[in-house]
Amino acid sequence: MPRAGQRAAPIGVLIALLLAACGTRGGDAGRLDPGALADELGRARSAAAEDRETTLEEDLAARVASDPDRAARGLIDVAWTSTESLAVLVDEPALAGRDDVTRALLEIGARGETAEVRVAALRALGSLPGDARTASEVGRIARRDPDALVRETAADALAGIAERSPEQAPLVASELALALETESDGAVRAALLDAAPTLGDEPDGDD
């Protein structure tokens, strides 16, 4: 599992292992379960050659096009421990916005074991259109996550949802206001206010 300060897996490593998990390459790798795949990903962090990345990206795009359901399942399994796979889920047009992908991003954003992976999931959500459920659940994360950076990222994600799904703007404003009522961290409060300028300025306090 990635630790704070560790580099994300090179895209070539991730794609190669994903393709193996999806059964597109032979050998023992094709039989790895998600937990073993995550362990292998950690051991292989610096193993990919850069000149392989383009070929592997083309392989992934072709695999997604031919069987998006299987590709989504493989990426979601890896996404709980890999921030790079979260980016692939939203960068591939055939996967971005799928219900199963959005559900997975919400689950990882709320319950990912590290703040790093929760932040990555929320950033991914903020880059996509969202419905009322997505806005509500991201708002809950903005209020309840114990990590300030995660709460700040959730505020940014709410702003992204409102921008890409204007019909959700009133709900987003409500969620931001609720989060602001209980938030004490200065950076998070600033992010909440930046995300919802119509909420107005904060009180001056003791000045």
Please provide the CATH number assigned to the domain covering 97-197.
1.25.10.10
Return the closest-CA partner of residue 90 out of 163, 79, 137, 80.
Answer: 79
pLDDT of residue 58: 63
Q: Taking 80 as the threshold, does the pLDDT of residue 178 lie above it?
A: yes
Residue type, 146: P
Q: Which tens digits make up the pLDDT trace of 98-147? A: 999 999 999 999 999 999 999 999 999 999 999 999 999 999 999 999 99
- For the chain, give the percent of residues with pLDDT over 90: 47
Token pair for residue 47? 């193993």
**Per this entry, what is the length of the chain?**
207
User: Per the confidence metrics, is the pTM higher than 0.85?
Assistant: no
For residue 96, count CB atoms less than 10 angstroms from its CB and return exposed for 0-12, middle for 13-18, buried for 19 or more. middle
Helix (H, G, I), strand (E, B) or coil at 105: helix
Question: Which residues in the chain are classed under CATH 1.25.10.10?
Answer: 97-197
pLDDT of residue 24: 44
pLDDT of residue 3: 44
Q: Which tens digits make up the pLDDT trace of 51-81? A: 444 555 666 677 777 888 888 888 888 888 8
Helix (H, G, I), strand (E, B) or coil at 189: helix
